Amino acid sequence: MTPVAASADLDVRQHNYSAGPGALPPEVVEEVRNELPVYPGLGASIMEVSHRSPEYTAIHQRAGARMKSLLGMGDDWHVLFLQGGASMQFHQVPLNFLPEGGVADYLDTGAWSAKAVKEAEVVGRMRGATVRVIASGKDGNYSAIPDASSWDLSPNAAYLHVTSNNTIFGTQLAYEPDVDVPLVCDVSSDFLSRPMDIDRYGLIYAGAQKNIGPAGVTAVLVKDAFLQTRQPDLPTILDYGTHAAKLFNTPPVFAIYIVDKVLGWIERNGGLAGMVERNAAKSDRLYGALDATEFYRPTVELGSRSSMNVCFRLPSEDLEAQFIAQAKGEGLRANTHVTCI
Ligand SMILES: Cc1ncc(COP(=O)(O)O)c(C=O)c1O
């Protein structure tokens, strides 16, 4: 067998501030590199074997179990690893849970929640159902999360959809909504960055590429009682029940294999409490530096600031372009749009 050439030196990896796809823990990248040609004991790469092999089944089950354990979920929760990105969940959630003639509430806190509303409205039109935006931060350019006291909640909504962290605008819900209906939450860009009061939720979903792995897999966690409220006659592949019942089709094996490793890394680094500490240390330092001068201008109001992605402006677009060029020279990678690192 031909030996595999050593790949790039991990020491040359830059500081990566991209909100998503985001950085993976270096030790995970190294472990994946080492196991890429031959998964231990398998005689082949994990990418080359059946998704029903005992080796892959163990990885799949462990990833689900780790996720549940980190979030303190009981046996009444299902963990699904789906494809189509978080964007597909914008449609799949109402398709499953918005009933004929019913109502679903949505909190509009940024570009991604607006997209979720748009897709729910498609389902609403099909079913003669109503999608209600209970509050929106749009008029203030999404620089703050509308205060919970202003939310115009429907008494009989099938669910309330919220986005816990708004990746583009750098806002984050500082609290978990206290409402009488099941919460559905897009946790794509702060998943597993802090503990959740999981009893409040019916379903949470996250594209993996921000916080827990590479692009290609979406984690969907659904409580069984909520799952049972789904609508009849759904297309098989879009019915959450299909995936809760069994491994229905070929999952994105390689992405899930890496997710499992990242979850192991979170466990070894203090679990979600450890993540809170780590995130606060980084974001407090960054906001502290930004607030210390008039030069940098954080775009988000106090109380809505994200500990995941910190958005700020400089006095002019020319200076912003210079800042980005100089940061690149210092080995700092960031998203290409000027407002967020
Ligand atoms: C909060 C949030 N929701 C949804 C999405 C869409 O995710 P995907 O690209 O996996 O469809 C993103 C992507 O950046 C996001 O940040």
CB-based contact 280:233 (threshold 8 Å): no
9 a catalytic residue? no
210 a catalytic residue? yes
Residue scoring higher pLDDT (114 or 338):
114
| pLDDT at 341 exceeding the cut of 60 | no
- Distance, in Å, from the CA atom of 105 to the CA atom of 151, rounded to the nearest integer, reads 10
Mutate to test the pocket of ligand 1, among 90, 107, 112 (most ligand atoms within 8 A of CB): 112
- Distance, in Å, from the CA atom of 247 to the CA atom of 262, rounded to the nearest integer, reads 22
User: 77, 105, 108, 186: which is the annotated catalytic residue?
Assistant: 186
| pLDDT at 26 exceeding the cut of 80 | yes
User: 108, 190, 210, 260: which is the annotated catalytic residue?
Assistant: 210
CB-based contact 107:151 (threshold 8 Å): yes
Residue 9's pLDDT is what? 73
Bridge-based pairing state of the strands 160-163 and 77-82: unpaired
Tokens coding 231: 């609508």
Q: Is the dihedral of CA 193, 341, 217, 42 positive or negative?
A: negative
Q: pLDDT, tens digit, for every residue of 250-282? A: 999 999 999 999 999 999 999 999 999 999 999
Does the beta carbon of 163 sit less than 6 angstroms from any atom of ligand 1? yes
- Distance, in Å, from the CA atom of 215 to the CA atom of 141, rounded to the nearest integer, reads 28
What are the residues whose beta carbons fall under 8 Å from the beta carbon of 34, sequence distance 6 or more? none
Residue 335's pLDDT is what? 67
Q: pLDDT, tens digit, for every residue of 94-129? A: 999 999 999 999 999 999 999 999 999 999 999 999
- Distance, in Å, from the CA atom of 339 to the CA atom of 336, rounded to the nearest integer, reads 9
265 a catalytic residue? no
Q: pLDDT, tens digit, for every residue of 291-322? A: 999 999 999 999 999 999 999 999 999 999 99
Q: Is 339 exposed, middle or buried (0-12, 13-18, 19+ CB in 10 A)?
A: middle
Residue 7's pLDDT is what? 55
Residue closest via CA to ligand 1's atom 9 equals: 85
Mean pLDDT of the chain: 94
Kindly report the pTM of this predicted structure. 0.95
At 333, which amino acid appears? R
- Distance, in Å, from the CA atom of 217 to the CA atom of 51, rounded to the nearest integer, reads 14
Q: Is the dihedral of CA 146, 150, 154, 158 positive or negative?
A: positive
Q: List helix spans (H) across the chain.
A: 26-35, 54-71, 85-97, 111-127, 224-227, 240-245, 253-268, 271-291, 317-329
Does the beta carbon of 167 sit less than 6 angstroms from any atom of ligand 1? yes
Q: How many angstroms separate the alpha carbon of residue 93 from the centre of ligand 1?
A: 15
SS3 249: coil
Mutate to test the pocket of ligand 1, among 108, 118, 167, 211 (most ligand atoms within 8 A of CB): 167
